[in-house]
Amino acid sequence: MKEFEVKIKVVEATDNELPEQLRKLVDTARQATERSYAPFSNFHVGAALLLSNGEIISGSNQENAAYPSGTCAERTCAFYAHSTYPQEKFVAIAVAARDTSGEFVDDPVAPCGACRQVLLEFEKTSGQPVRVILCGKDRVFMLDSVQDLLPLAFVDFD
């Protein structure tokens, strides 16, 4: 029997420490929370994707009384980005959330498992890592790749 550890690198930063392009991506994700439709959970999530052509695409979670017919912000964003710009690669994604009080969550929020798998597939098919920025109220966590969110993921899509 062999034991091993899986480690990932996470960089914690404030918004002011981010380069301008990533700060804009974070701001766009936070703004997208305002377009969330979350009457059941009252957990409003926004995502913003930076594409290789410089475009930023945003999306928000959309709930439905016929659960699980809604979709998460990350998948809304990813599917729209790919259907609108199918030749462009994903460069980075930012995810933000507001809680039931309407305030941004204190701790950086991470995508659910389904969103991680979807984003990982876009990362693999694009052939390059996609930077991940998880936003909290006063700080962000940055990861080098979607793979870091799902270290033992299923990645054999061929």
Can you name the residues that pair with 142 across neighbouring β-strands? 11, 133
Can you say whether residue 127 is alpha, beta or left, with left for phi > 0 and alpha for psi between -120 and 50 degrees? left
Could you read off the pLDDT of 109-147 as tens digits, one per residue? 999 999 999 999 999 988 999 999 999 999 999 999 999
What range does the domain containing 95 cover?
A: 11-149
Any domain includes 158:
no
CATH code of the domain containing 23: 3.40.140.10
- Residue 133 phi/psi, 5-degree rounding, is -120, 115
Burial class of residue 68 in the structure, from the number of CB atoms within 10 Å of its CB (0-12 exposed, 13-18 middle, 19+ buried): exposed
* Residue 55 in tokens: 């475009």
Residue 144 lies in a domain: yes
Q: Are 36 and 61 in contact (CB under 8 A)?
A: yes
Number of domains in the chain: 1
User: 15-44: per-residue pLDDT in tens?
Assistant: 999 999 999 999 999 999 999 999 999 999
- pLDDT over 90 for what percent of the chain? 89
Residue 48 lies inside a defined structural domain of this protein? yes
In a domain, 4, yes or no: no
Residue range 49-73: mean pLDDT, rounded: 94
Q: What percent of the chain has pLDDT over 70?
A: 98
- The answer to whether residue 99 is domain-embedded is yes
**pLDDT(157) > 60:** no
pLDDT (0 to 100) of residue 117: 93
Taking only the tens place, the pLDDT of each residue in 92-111 is 999 999 999 999 999 999 99
Residue 2 covered by a domain: no
Residue 155 lies in a domain: no
Q: Is the residue at 1 inside a domain?
A: no
Catalytic (active-site) positions? 74
